[in-house]
Structure 1
């Protein structure tokens, strides 16, 4: 028997909405901003630059930046956990 999931709280939904907005911004940077910049200038686009499209968005929205930094931190932790589990499961 499957237990029914409770609806997400408004705070949880707000956090997911912010994460979605950040991901859309990052995708716009990769698919539109970077190629247009490189085509126009002939230089490589630096997504790590403080003036990059995503960083400009994050720097003007502190709550979004906080969520993004937490997501990146947790991503690294999850990658480490997955790798450790794979090694354990495969005897390495």
Structure 2
């Protein structure tokens, strides 16, 4: 249905429709506003990329390293039993 790409007559029809909708006097202002919006978008995306790159280049903090090490350690039965007894103690306190 839409094969063949954009042809010159497509652009002409688009320009005619834009002139009829907005008028010849308002089109330069609209184009200027669109250009400013695109420049702002481009600068913001560049800033975000730079921030993401600088964040990934930094070494993680000691707390983050300790958390990551703790997360990789497997749970053992002692830890699970200790947590289970702590939960049971809390339930008993709540009932009393």
Task: Identify the structure with the greater helix proportion.
Answer: 2
With normalisation by structure 2, the TM-score equals 0.39
Bigger relative contact order, structure 1 or 2 (CA pairs below 8 A, ≥6 apart): 1
